[in-house]
Amino acid sequence: MSSELRFEGGGVSAPLTIRESARARVMRLKVDQRTGTVLLTLPRRASRKKALEWAAGQRGWIEAALASVKPRTDLAPGAELPLHGMPHRIDWSPERTRTVRVEEGRIVTGGPLDTLEPRLLRWLKREAAELLAAETAEFAEKAGVIVSRVAVGDPVSRWGSCSSSGAIRYSWRLILAPDWVRRATVAHEVAHRVHMNHGPDFHFLVERLLGTDPKPARLWLRRNGLSLHRIGRG
């Protein structure tokens, strides 16, 4: 739940969001660099009044952290986004149809300007879903496993997940990362169909499926993932 306490920093304005947790033993304060959310986690039965007073006393740190949040890139005419890790400029004209196509470093489209961003987001998610499904099938065949379902979403804490039922879900934002980074993530999730852990056998299988060391891809996501989460409104 949001509180009346609000923080400002670097042009970013955010209310304090309060969440109670049965597992929390102490109060924890966090500024999410991906979303700009200021989150205060409280143990059950903690004093809300004392928590708000404590958070207010951290204003300097919170607002400095907000100022370091990277600006969000709206999907607007002239904006640039890294499709497959390569810069592409949004080339919009009202005379064109709503169809989206990619041409030499440009994402070309038309249609009403006020619906441009949601339409481009839908297009990006469809492109991501199709490509990730195809690559998942490729690696699943190589691993000799069955994946029951492939879907995309917009999680903030992980790039992919594999359930015990055989369903795999990815962040659609992987379409913005370089191909070798995305494929390493797919190999990682498919390997979980064999090993639902991160033991030595799992890591050996990921490298065998991928045909190369996946560590550089994980490092790339750690270094650049925040910028991908600041593109569009999800």
Q: Does domain 118-229 have CATH number 3.30.390.30?
A: no
* Domain residue spans of the chain: 2-67, 118-229
The answer to whether the CB of 162 falls within 8 A of the CB of 193 is: yes
Contacts with 77 (C-beta within 8 Å, 6 or more apart), sequence order: 90, 91, 92, 113, 116
Element (H, E) at 108: strand 106-109
Q: What is the pLDDT of residue 234?
A: 67
Q: What is the pLDDT of residue 72?
A: 85
Q: What is the pLDDT of residue 86?
A: 97
Q: What is the pLDDT of residue 46?
A: 86
Ramachandran assignment for 144, one of left (phi > 0), alpha (psi -120 to 50 degrees), beta (any other): left
**Burial of residue 207 (number of CB atoms within 10 Å: 0-12, 13-18, 19+):** middle
Long-range Cβ pairs for the range 213-222 (8 Å, 24+) = 214/184, 214/187, 214/188, 216/180, 217/180, 217/181, 217/183, 217/184, 217/185, 218/184, 220/177, 220/178, 220/181, 221/159, 221/177, 221/181, 221/185
Q: What is the pLDDT of residue 233?
A: 77
Each residue's pLDDT expressed in tens, for the chain with a length of 234 residues: 667 899 999 888 899 999 999 888 899 999 988 788 899 999 988 888 899 999 999 999 999 999 988 888 999 999 999 999 999 999 999 999 999 999 999 999 999 999 999 999 999 999 999 999 999 999 999 999 999 999 999 998 899 999 999 999 999 999 999 999 999 999 999 999 999 999 999 999 999 999 999 999 999 999 999 899 999 976
